[in-house]
Amino acid sequence: MTDTQQRITHWIDGRPWTGTPERTGEVFDPATGSVTARVDLAGAATVDEAVASARGAFAAWRRTSLSRRTAVLFAFRRLLAERAGEVAAAITAEHGKVLDDAAGEVQRGLEVVEFACGIPHLLRGGHTAGVSTGVDVHAVRQPLGVTAVISPFNFPAMVPLWFVPLAIACGNSVVLKPSEKDPSASLLLARLWSEAGLPDGVLTVVQGDKEAVDRLLVHEDVASVSFVGSTPVARHVYETASAHGKRVQALGGAKNHMVVLPDADLDLAADAAVNAGFGSAGERCMAVSALVAVEPVADALVARIAERIAALRVGDGRRGCDMGPLVTAAHRDRVAGYVEAGVAAGAELVADGRTHPVDGDADGFWLGPTLFDRVTPDMSVYTDEIFGPVLSVLRADSYDAALALVNGSPYGNGAAIFTNDGGAARRFEEEVEAGMVGINVPIPVPVSSYSFGGWKDSLFGDTHAYGPDGVHFFTRTKTVTTRWPDPRHRGIDLGFPRND
């Protein structure tokens, strides 16, 4: 590690870790291609240390009053709002997304914090008096224990904020394992939690890669696992952690479709396709990557999208550009490989991101917006989750054919339809096989009072993220049946209990 490279380490017991790392990894500035830091990568021993800290803190935190927990949440919300710019800058420096996009990420995470501030209301149980003679029943929601959160590189602040505030509000302790590609945002959040008054150990951050993840999945003191990432890894997380008795919500990959009907406002649809397809360089699980144009509008729609692509400014996210670099050189090369595969398969390359002008360092991890037309369902640019700025246009001759394309995908994260026909929109809402649906909304990410999650291979486990599902995931119900004996009662009855 050179003098100009910082060390990024774990956060355990309310402070930066001071031990000797088992391994380290490089952290890049994607806009320049330079290594800016080295991150400690935890092995099993460090993961065990982090879990032990979280387990030790849980006993006291679960007994902390809801009013005290709420005070910490409100304080964290204020600090995060005040220092949102600092968190956004850290995201841009390590992920590459433009500053405005990074600021929007923090804002969406802040909405979940605000939802969690209502935890006294959200944890209210039920009570029924007199279910039987002299018998009352009430239900309470109690925390799980140590909860693990494994978050991806594409939203280094928002995804942790989907899970951590609710887990903490419900009385759990949390071990957060962020992506090793952009780990600094997680440490900024941990510091803000500490400044807000969260007791040491209630939140720990353990940096690492697959070795750290695999240890968390089988650790006997981890009660639940929340994960966001690709479908193959989500399946591994779900199968491994659930086999070890843990509650799991594993959100996987996507191939989000946007259907455009002939009556749609084509300018609105073109704007939406560009925004949803190329924002954050397409590194979003909710990005639109497949646009299904129902004829006869395909030619006009493709022309509008191509015109908008040509005007996009690609470059360093700190320079006011529209789209930044991809997160690593390896990922950029992987996405570029799909562009080559699409051309070889016979798709029409309307806009080639490999030649798009760039306002940035020559060594940055650049790939501009790419548009394919006349894509067919057998091509890899359609079947695979590319996770980059590649938009594929497929042509359908009817609503039914378009719907069949969407529902034929193994993924079911999000789907959108653009139309001015209320009947068609209602039919799509009912018939499409996706967990989140947009009507003239290209990225239908729910607000914090609803829950986020897909269907089919986009979700493993039954519980979605944040919102009411988040509260249910991070708590378990205990039902208490009470009888206070009448002082006049006498005698023994060995029969089976009766409901009289």
Q: Structure tokens of 473?
A: 């995931």
Say how far apart CA 14 and CA 324 lie, in whole Å: 34
Say how far apart CA 80 and CA 428 lie, in whole Å: 38
How many C-beta neighbours within 10 Å does residue 490 have?
Answer: 7
Q: Which of 117, 170, 285, 321 is catalytic?
A: 285
Q: Structure tokens of 80?
A: 């995060």
Q: Which amino acid, residue 5?
A: Q
Tell me if residue 285 is catalytic: yes
Q: Which amino acid, residue 117?
A: C
- CB burial of residue 129 (10 Å; 0-12, 13-18, 19+): exposed
Half-sphere exposure of 38 (CA within 13 A, CB side): 12
Q: Which residues are catalytic?
A: 285
